[in-house]
A and B are shown apart, each in its own frame.
Chain A
Amino acid sequence: MSDLLAAAQEEVKPDMTPMIDCVFLMIIFFICIEFKVLEAKLPAYLPKDKGSQATKVEPQEQLSLGVYEDSRGTQRFPNGGGPGLVNSQTQRPYRFALQGHTIKWMVGPTLVTNSDDLLNQLKRIYNNRDTWQDDKEKPGQKKPMPVVIEPHPGTYYDDAAKTADLVKAAGFGEINFGGGLGQAPGKK
């Protein structure tokens, strides 16, 4: 009788170990996934014919969007270290964050000092169908003019990328990058 009772007790006892193993593994897996940075991309096009022989090309109207430094900002090193120091663990220089860095834009001849105004200005140009031009790939159709973003010395990748982000938000499809690169930083 006692054997039967013991057997009945054994039957109802589920083995939790494999389930706990699986749960732990899944937790580790999802933690690893969380560390993966979600990335986005901005497609842009470079000139195909650089360095080719001079040929007559039709001038194309483009919207020039200059990006200028307004305030340089101050460097902060959130992970410690300092300018020019190398992190011995990563073998890469310590990275800094710029605080108080601001930029301004020239949309054609118009000066714009904040991103909301820039977006409005770009939307206004986009919505003006007189600025649209013939689409060579689709005869009989029109397309918005290409935008040339011209980041000037003292501007950063963040400034150009955010500008391009606003250009896309306004509806423009074709983004090119231009302008002189100036002297290498540190050679002023």
Chain B
Amino acid sequence: MTDLKKEAQQTQEMDMTPMIDCVFLLMIFFVLIIDLSQTNLEDLILPKAQYQQADDSPPENRPVINLLQTGAVYYKGKMQYDPAVHGSDYSGILRMLKLIKQTGNVKTKTENLGGRDVELVDDPILLRADKWTEWHFVGEVMKQCSQPEAAFWKVELAMSEKDKEEALLKGKN
């Protein structure tokens, strides 16, 4: 009788440990994936968009340039230009763009413009600037993008679907 009971208990028991292990592993995997995709993104407050398209499936190799309120330019967490240090010397931005073009695995095409061949970058570049960054600095990055050595001609301006600043200011009032 006791043997039968033991057998019945054994057949009904399900070992949940492997499932929990798998769930843990999946969680760690997804958390890491999310963190890796965010390393290019500085903590900025973007302008709120009402009518723009959502940035749902960005191209895999799209370079992301961040501009802080001070006008400082960051790429992959590293400062490339700071107005307080470099002033009107924007060569650091152009150098960064040339490096992205060479090593960033971006798609290029050659077009004959004004009688000479220019290697244009056919992938878009995303400019993420804080909403209170003076336009002068954003315009300057765009100017460097359009230099023939860089030749990024497709630009995407990052906006947000939510205004994080509203909540921040309401919380302080």
Which residues of A line the B interface, CB within 8 A? Answer: 3-4, 7, 10-11, 15, 17-18, 21-22, 25, 28-29, 32-33, 36-55, 67, 76, 78-79, 90, 92-93, 95-99, 151, 153, 155-162, 164-166, 168-169, 177, 179, 181-186
Contact = CB atoms under 8 A, between A and B. Distances in A.
A78 B167 CA distance: 10
Contacts of A185: 71, 83, 134, 136
Contacts of B172: 78
Nearest to B145: A46
Contact of B130 (A52, A55, A157, A182): A157
Chain B CB count within 10 A is highest, among A37, A157, A168, for A157
A10 B9 contact: yes
Interface residues of B, number: 82
A36 B160 CA distance: 11
B139 A41 contact: no
Contact of A7 (B9, B111, B138, B147): B9
Given A40-B53, A49-B114, A97-B132, 20 more contacts: A25-B23, A37-B46, A37-B162, A38-B162, A39-B158, A41-B157, A43-B155, A46-B155, A48-B120, A53-B115, A97-B165, A98-B132, A99-B169, A156-B135, A157-B130, A157-B134, A161-B46, A165-B49, A165-B52, A184-B71
